[in-house]
Amino acid sequence: MTKTAWVFPGQGSQVVGMGNDLLELPEAKAIAQQAADILGWSVAEICQSAEDKLSRTLYTQPCLYVVECLLADQMRAKGHQPALVAGHSLGEYVALYVAEVFSFSAGLQLVKRRAELMDSASDGMMAALIGFDCDQLTQQIEQTPDVVLANDNNAGQVVISGTIAAVETVLNIVKAKRAVKLNVSGAFHSPLMAAAATEFQAVLDQVSFSPAKVAILSNVDPTPATDAAVLKQRLIQQMTGSVRWREISLQLPELGIETVVEIGPGKVLTGLIKRTCPDLILKNVSNLGEISTVVDSEP
């Protein structure tokens, strides 16, 4: 049997209409009601709303969490289980849920508070760079205070985060094929999120973590772990730490993974992984129909 990893995308992968087919399932309606009780609003309604509303951090993160958890539940209902899980930023919460570290409701309560804190962040900015000189970027970040490498996605795509002045300085000096300022409220995955991270830790400390049923590669430490205390500590560090996705990708074949299934809207993560590990078999599950396709094509 092929050794398979499941990966879960984060903010930026959302699309209007995501989860429509899932939320019509009888078993999903109870989950949707549970989510509405926790959030105070309807995930189905937000997923159908205008793109600018769905793309607001306050709504994006809980919606992605709910939709991706439902997709993973449907995969497991078909008798499939991953050998390993990982998630990109917000997606790590789905990975922890799938590994049975915490319940759906506990995870959603964490995601809700995380989204609120990140949505209210007003300091700094983020920018993606595509096709750049790695040495030049590394040197410039080292020489520029108040900017960090927030997402190391692959060799040709990264995200920097920091104060507006610092990020602008790097963008003006480092040559890149493309540089895109991200439409986010603050400098996520940087030390500028320290105050929000401290507030979030108080919420996180109240949630009981169980040992993971499958190994998890965390954003801040891409080595496999199942220990509850280790996983919680890594999650505490995530809000201010870098997303080390390139290193997560490199770990997959080293750990015997042959197939990677991205569970969630879009194909962002499989696109990133393909550049780093072109020999892996990559599949996507963004709706109910694609679950059948993936299942039918497995050896």
List active site positions: 89, 189
CA R_g for the chain: 18
CA 278 from centroid of its chain's CA atoms: 21
Burial of 89 (C-beta count, 10 Å sphere; 0-12/13-18/19+): buried
* HSE value, Cβ hemisphere, 13 Å, CA-based, for 91: 29
Phi, psi dihedrals of residue 244, rounded to the nearest 5°: -95, 60
Residue 209 carries which DSSP code?
P
CB 85 within 8 A of CB 98: yes
Contact 162, 242 (CB under 8 A): no
Give the span between the Cα atoms of 112 and 94, in whole angstroms.
Answer: 13
Cα of first residue to Cα of last residue in the chain, in angstroms, is 7
Residue (of 153, 137, 149) closest to 276 by Cα position? 153
Cβ partners under 8 Å of residue 137, min gap 6:
129, 149, 158, 160, 170, 174
Distance in angstroms (rounded) separating the CA atoms of residues 59 and 199: 20
Q: Which residues pair with 176 in a beta bridge?
A: 132
Give Cα 151 to chain centroid, integer Å: 11
